[in-house]
Amino acid sequence: MFFGTSSESWNGQSSKRHGGATEDNIAPYTRALEYAWDTRAELMDILECALIEKAACENGWEHVLESNDKVVVLASARHRAQARVESAPAGDGWLLEVSGELLQQELARSCAGVIEHLGIIFPARNIEGLASLLRRAAALAQSLPNQVAQTYKLAVVKELQEIGEKGTEIERLVKQRVGQDTFRQALMDYWGGACAVTGIAIPEMLRASHLKPWAKCGCDEERLDVFNGFLLTANLDALFDRGLISFLDTGLLICSSRISRQDSKNIGLKDGLLLRWLAPEHLSYLVWHRENVFDADG
C-alpha cells in the first residue's frame, strides 16, 4: 500500500467527487471508474511500463523507484514528492496518486474528474492525459512552501561559492536576488504561468506580488511561501503593491476609493473580477494585506 491506496482498495466502497467537479462535467469515463471498485486493475506489460516511465521523465519525474506489472512509482531530485501510477480497472487508462495532502489538494483544482476514495485519485484515459497530470503535479511539487525554501537555500550556497567573495553586504544582495527569482518561479509554477486574475500567460507581463512584503516577513519560509503572493499582470501588480487594490476572502477584487470609475474603466478593472482560485493557506496573508497595505478610503 502506498499513499493510503492500492489496487486492493478498489473494493466496492462508495466514492465522491473532489475539487468542484459535478455530475455534469465529469466524463462518462470517470463515472464508469466509480462503479468498478470490485474490478482489479489490469496488470501492465513491459511496454506499458516503459511508456509511463518515458512520460514521467519528460514531465518532471525522472527517477523510477519501482516498476513492475502492478505499479510504477516515481520521484525527482527537484522536489520531494512521489507519484504512483497503476492501470485503471479493466485496463482503461491509468490512475495517478501523489504524496502529500497539500499537493493532492492543489492538483485537484486542475482536474474535474478527480475521485476521492481512501485518498485522492487522478484518472487519465490516455498517455497524453497522464503526461499532463504528471507535468502539473511536478510544477506544484516544486512550488509548494517547504520545497521552495529548500531550493532557495541550495541556490544561495551555490551562488556564493561561484562568486568566491565573502561579506555581509554581498551575501545580503545574493539572498535577495535569489529569493526574488525563486519566489517568482514558484508563483509561475503554482499559477500555471498565467495571471491569478486575468489568466494572461505572457511571461514578460507577469510579476510576483507579495501579499506580506519581503521586508515585513519574519523568516525566509514566510518570504518564499507561494501562498504569500499572487502572479499578476504588471498593472495589477503595481496597484496591489501600492494598496490601491486587494481581494476579499471570496477572491473578489476590491478597489481603493482613490481609483475613479473612469480610471477603473481605462485600466480594465471590470466589476466582478475574481482570483482564479483561492486556497485556505492564502487567507492569513490576504487579511494582512487588507489591514496593512490596502488603502480602502484613500
How confident is the model over 147-194, as pLDDT tens digits? Answer: 888 888 888 888 888 887 777 888 888 888 898 999 999 999 999 999
Cell of 30: 470517470
Confidence (pTM): 0.74
User: Mean pLDDT, to the nearest integer, of 196-213?
Assistant: 96
Q: Which of 57-66, 150-159, 175-184, 235-244 has the lowest mean pLDDT?
A: 150-159
Q: Which of 75-79, 87-91, 208-212, 251-255 has the lowest mean pLDDT?
A: 87-91
Of 238, 242, 236, nearest to 296 (Cα)? 242
Residues 102-109: contacts with CB under 8 Å, at least 24 apart: 102/144, 102/281, 103/137, 103/140, 103/141, 103/144, 105/279, 106/140, 106/144, 106/190, 106/279, 107/133, 107/136, 107/137, 107/140, 108/18, 108/19, 109/19, 109/20, 109/277
User: Mean pLDDT, to the nearest integer, of 76-94?
Assistant: 89
Q: Which of 170-179, 217-226, 254-263 has the lowest mean pLDDT?
A: 170-179
Alpha helices by DSSP H, 144-259 = 145-163, 168-190, 220-223, 234-241
Write out the E strands in the chain: 16-17, 63-67, 72-76, 79-87, 94-98, 115-116, 120-124, 206-210, 229-233, 245-247, 253-255
How confident is the model over 98-140, as pLDDT tens digits? Answer: 999 999 999 998 776 677 755 789 999 999 999 999 999 999 9
Q: Percentage of the chain surpassing pLDDT 90? A: 59
Q: Which of 14-23, 100-109, 203-212, 234-243 has the lowest mean pLDDT?
A: 14-23
* The pLDDT value given to residue 172: 84
Q: How far apart are the first and last CA of the chain?
A: 57
Higher pLDDT, 168 or 26: 168
Amino acid identity, residue 155? A
- Compute the Cα dihedral for 109, 112, 114, 115 and give only its sign: positive
Domain residue ranges in the chain: 9-142, 188-292
Q: Which of 7-21, 30-44, 90-104 has the highest mean pLDDT?
A: 90-104
Say whether pLDDT at 33 is over 80. Answer: no
User: For 177, how many CA atoms within 13 A lie in the half-sphere containing its CB?
Assistant: 10
Indicate the pLDDT class of residue 38, thresholds 50, 70 and 90.
very low
Indicate the pLDDT class of residue 241, thresholds 50, 70 and 90.
very high
Say whether pLDDT at 24 is over 50. Answer: no
- Do residues 148 and 56 lie in contact, with contact meaning Cβ atoms separated by under 8 Å? no
* The pLDDT value given to residue 118: 55
* The pLDDT value given to residue 251: 96
